[in-house]
Amino acid sequence: MKTTTRVRRVGIYVRISDDREGGGLGVKRQEDDCRLLAAALGWKVVEVYVDNDVTAADRRKKRKDYIRMLEDVKSGHIDAVISWHPDRLYRQPAELEDLIIIVEEHKTEIASVKAGDLDLSTPTGRLVARMLGAIAKYEVEHKQERIIRKVQELVAAGKIHNSGHRPFGYTRLFDGEGPRRKILGEILNAEEARYVERWADRALEGEKLYSLVLDAHENGVKTTTGGEFTYQAMRALLMSARISGRKEHKGEIKGKAVWPAIISPEKSDALRALLAARSEEHKAEFGERDATALKYPLSGLVRCTCKVPHVVGEPCACKEEGRQHHKMSTGQRGDKDMSIYTCKKEGGGCGGRTIQIPDLEPLVEKLLFARLEEIEVATEEDPADPRPELEAKLVRWEKRKGELEDELLDGDRPAREIQDAIDKLNVRMADARREIAHYSVKANLTEVSAVELRKAWKDYSVPRKQSVYRGLIREILIHPATRPFNVWNPDRIEVFWK
């Protein structure tokens, strides 16, 4: 082994990728062995760098103490490094090359308990280090192949991965103790499952995700990691096929899983299609995600006719023609404390049209209940309901997709031709699910009688009222004021129903 004439200031680097025992016992054993080697070499240990339960196989994951060690080498705080084995220091060839540059520049010695001295200042030493690095890289890639194959096996069987946080709505059953205990199965967590069902139903009624997040906050419901629910967490929960008892991998549903369902697969499909469509539509119109819960029930529906003139009582085909009435914003009257909708000039509007919210809301409420009563009288079962036909098509398309996937495996036809057909079927099925979801929102709302809704209306929160309005109303047009201007004229209001 290489000798030195002076006492080296050594830093010990220890690392273990997977601390199955917990408590850092693996890195402690490495440190003990490294200290014995330092004593044998006559080197003084001045620092210990520990990356416990941290892999070196993935460069995206930062090893904080490894980075700190390199900075101490550069600053001169240490001039030698001891590790239990070279693969504790590096497993990626690119990392080794970075280490070689630093070690050569600062004349740093490297020793290991199991592989002896690594003299990176000589071509032979660098060759040995690179060979060890190539072997370590091979081991990483081979292990990844085994892991991927195991994941594929679990996905095909609908089983639970023995990793990750506990999913919301479920309680896990374990074999053994400690952080690496084996997951035996999952059962429903009754309290959390009730919230999942409640949020799913309210989302299918058209309620915004942000209002569901507020509901979680108001009721003190936390995620399984103990954090507050966010928009992203709520969307991920309701978009997941897991809550319908199905296995999902990389966004694709693979089939029935071994854990119980909280909601039905049909309800889950409608929910996934609705949230996906809502996100796409909102991005197309506004370039960003769903807006936060609003202060007034009619916000977002009230429009001014200043940009696209419209005659009262005539059908409006502006949306179909790609034209839009200007959205009015909320504000306050300048002469008294009164909330209004106003067509703001700075937002591209006319700057002159307003409507008082205390006048508008009671009128639209009255029109809403009248509309629901009309629907009830018209028919109990909508003959124009497209869902039965679309659901029958989905069954046929799913069957055809399965046949095409079998053909793809057989290899009798060109793979590109079969894949194109599968892609077209996927688009058709996605469109059908979106249409079913949109109609389901309206159907869910009209299932509640006008009498029942009128009784419960005063207790509805603003977000719940918004969901009812948005499920039935396309837009509310505000026409120009008529003389006398200081008198409320309900004829200025025109509601277009879905």
95/109 Cα distance (integer angstroms): 17
What's domain 186-286's superfamily in CATH? Putative Large Serine Recombinase; Chain B, Domain 2 (3.90.1750.20)
- Looking at residue 121, what is its pLDDT? 67
- Looking at residue 190, what is its pLDDT? 93
Inter-residue contact 432 to 390 (CB < 8 Å): yes
Distances (CA, A) of 41 to 38, 49, 50: 5, 19, 21
- Looking at residue 85, what is its pLDDT? 87
Q: Looking at the domain that runs over 9-144, which CATH code has it been given?
A: 3.40.50.1390
pLDDT at residue 122 greater than cutoff 80: no
pTM exceeds cut of 0.85: no
Task: Using pLDDT thresholds of 50, 70 and 90, give the confidence band for residue 161.
Answer: low
Report the mean per-residue pLDDT for the chain.
80
138/136 Cα distance (integer angstroms): 5
* Dihedral sign for Cα atoms in the order 285, 290, 295, 298: positive
The residue ranking higher by pLDDT, 138 or 309, is 309
Q: With residue 474 as reference, give the H or E element that holds it.
A: strand 473-478
Q: How many CB atoms lie within 10 A of CB 240?
A: 18
Inter-residue contact 243 to 233 (CB < 8 Å): no
Domain ranges in the chain? Answer: 9-144, 186-286, 302-497
Percentage, residues of the chain above pLDDT 90: 20
Percentage, residues of the chain above pLDDT 70: 80
Among the ranges given (58-62, 101-105, 322-326, 400-404), the one the predictor scored with the smallest mean pLDDT: 58-62
- Looking at residue 363, what is its pLDDT? 93
What number of residues does the chain have? Answer: 498
355/338 Cα distance (integer angstroms): 10
- Looking at residue 467, what is its pLDDT? 75
- In sequence order, which residues have a C-beta less than 8 Å from that of residue 427 and are 6 or more positions away? none
Range 399-412 average pLDDT: 82
pLDDT at residue 261 greater than cutoff 70: yes
pLDDT at residue 111 greater than cutoff 50: yes
Range 432-447 average pLDDT: 67
In degrees, rounded to 5, the angle at the alpha carbon of residue 355 between the alpha carbons of residues 350 and 358 is 155
Range 279-300 average pLDDT: 59
Q: Report long-range pairs for 164-167 (Cβ below 8 Å, ≥24 apart).
A: 165/224, 165/225, 166/224, 167/224, 167/240, 167/242
- Give the 3-state secondary structure of residue 411: coil
- Looking at residue 234, what is its pLDDT? 92
DSSP result, 55-68: -SS-TTS--HHHHH
The residue ranking higher by pLDDT, 430 or 227, is 227
Inter-residue contact 46 to 77 (CB < 8 Å): yes
The residue ranking higher by pLDDT, 149 or 24, is 149
In degrees, rounded to 5, the angle at the alpha carbon of residue 283 between the alpha carbons of residues 281 and 289 is 110
Give the pLDDT confidence of 186-225 residue by residue, as tens digits.
899 999 999 999 999 888 877 778 788 888 988 899 999 8
The residue ranking higher by pLDDT, 209 or 310, is 209
* Equal fold, 9-144 vs 186-286: no
